[in-house]
Amino acid sequence: MNDTITVIYIISDRRSGSTLLENILSKSTETVSVGELAMLKGHIAKQGPGEIWHWNCSCGQPVLQCSFWSKALNGIYNDNFETKITWPYKSSKALMAAMLPVIAKNNLKQFIQTKKNRQTTESLDVLYQAIAKTSGKNFIVDSSKDPLQGLSIQACANVEAKYIWLSRDLRAITFSKLKRWKVNKRSEKKPLETLTDSFYYKKICSATLKSLQQNNFIKIEYEDVAANPQHQLDKICSFIGLKNYEAPQYMELSEDHTIAGTPGRFERKPIAADNSWKTFYSTHKVLNFLGKVFNSL
Ligand SMILES: [Zn+2]
């Protein structure tokens, strides 16, 4: 038996279907899905995003009382335990990396080499091993999304990373973020700013993946996953080296112990593309045009 621990890391923006993809991948008998591992520490401390579900594990229990996490974290949860890589999102160095990825690729690497991030990487390395041991699975699905969080796995000595870049139409992402913020009143950002921010984030994702070896990642479109989950799943399985299996027709949790994700994940829903954003752009023509341009860059 091959004992290599492989982290299947999903890179994407928010509102791009990463929870859907994570849920589809969790149905393999060879994987364990942990949701957004970067948020684990925040969920234990009950701080930051996650208030809507009281920072509980998807099983409904507080993380340290959940049957899975209490076991996985036993002996490794201490004062130095960290799970989230932090980096200066809108710094000139990040901007350089986004716009000139070939010249500025070292900028991204420097971000993950700060003292705090190196400590986080060490925690993550130990944590992935504990997850593999607790679950008995050597493929761990981590949908933390953040590209630099993903890049930091390269520095984990005991695990290998394979990346899935889940991309979505920037107009759909923008619409979905605005809708979400309206519900939870988290941001006052306007449509144009949200669109350009999403474009910037996409360029950071792209620059991060350019700094990896070509055979280490696969790019998947959300629209293709929603339209034909089986076809995209087969592509992913062959890329990762997983046995093929039948794609689910519904997005639903079943005995999962996942951290964070889309607030709608607790409902069983058929897998289908959400095209509600299209109506919005029939009355926002300039934004629509700009979105199309950004999609093509
Ligand atoms: Zn749980």
pLDDT digits (tens, 9 = 90+) for 1-22: 458 999 999 999 999 999 999 9
How much is the mean pLDDT over the chain?
94
Query: What is the 271 CA–ligand 1 centroid distance (Å)?
Result: 24
pLDDT at 181: 82
Stretch 233-246: mean pLDDT, rounded? 98
Residues 166, 204: Cα–Cα separation, whole Å:
13
Q: Which domain holds residue 153?
A: 5-296
Query: What is the 57 CA–ligand 1 centroid distance (Å)?
Result: 5
Query: What is the 34 CA–ligand 1 centroid distance (Å)?
Result: 9
Query: What is the 70 CA–ligand 1 centroid distance (Å)?
Result: 9
Residues 31, 141: Cα–Cα separation, whole Å:
7
pLDDT at 263: 86
**pLDDT bracket for residue 184 (50, 70, 90):** confident
Residues 201, 174: Cα–Cα separation, whole Å:
12
257: left (phi over 0), alpha (psi -120 to 50) or beta: beta
Look at residue 72 and tell me whether its pLDDT is greater than 70. yes
pLDDT in tens, 129-143: 999 999 999 999 999
Query: What is the 171 CA–ligand 1 centroid distance (Å)?
Result: 34
What whole-number percentage of the chain has pLDDT above 90?
84
Q: Which CATH number is 82's domain given?
A: 3.40.50
Query: What is the 65 CA–ligand 1 centroid distance (Å)?
Result: 8
pLDDT at 1: 43
At 71, list the tokens: 């076991």
Query: What is the 63 CA–ligand 1 centroid distance (Å)?
Result: 6
Query: What is the 132 CA–ligand 1 centroid distance (Å)?
Result: 15
pLDDT in tens, 146-161: 999 999 999 999 999 9
Eight-class DSSP state of 52: G
Q: pTM (2 decimals)?
A: 0.96
pLDDT in tens, 12-65: 999 999 999 999 999 999 999 999 999 999 999 999 999 999 999 999 999 999
Stretch 174-178: mean pLDDT, rounded? 95
Stretch 102-114: mean pLDDT, rounded? 89
Of 255, 210, 266, 232, whose CA–CA distance to 54 is shortest? Answer: 266
- Tell me if residue 140 falls in helix, strand or coil: strand
pLDDT in tens, 185-217: 777 789 999 999 999 999 999 999 998 877 899
- Tell me if residue 40 falls in helix, strand or coil: helix
Domain count, the chain: 1
pLDDT at 2: 59
Residue with tokens 């039948």: 246
pLDDT at 3: 82
Rounded to a whole number, what is the distance in angstroms from the first to the last CA of the chain?
43
Look at residue 104 and tell me whether its pLDDT is greater than 90. no
pLDDT at 254: 86
Query: What is the 255 CA–ligand 1 centroid distance (Å)?
Result: 8
Contact 18, 145 (CB under 8 A): yes
Query: What is the 259 CA–ligand 1 centroid distance (Å)?
Result: 8
Query: What is the 35 CA–ligand 1 centroid distance (Å)?
Result: 11
Query: What is the 258 CA–ligand 1 centroid distance (Å)?
Result: 7
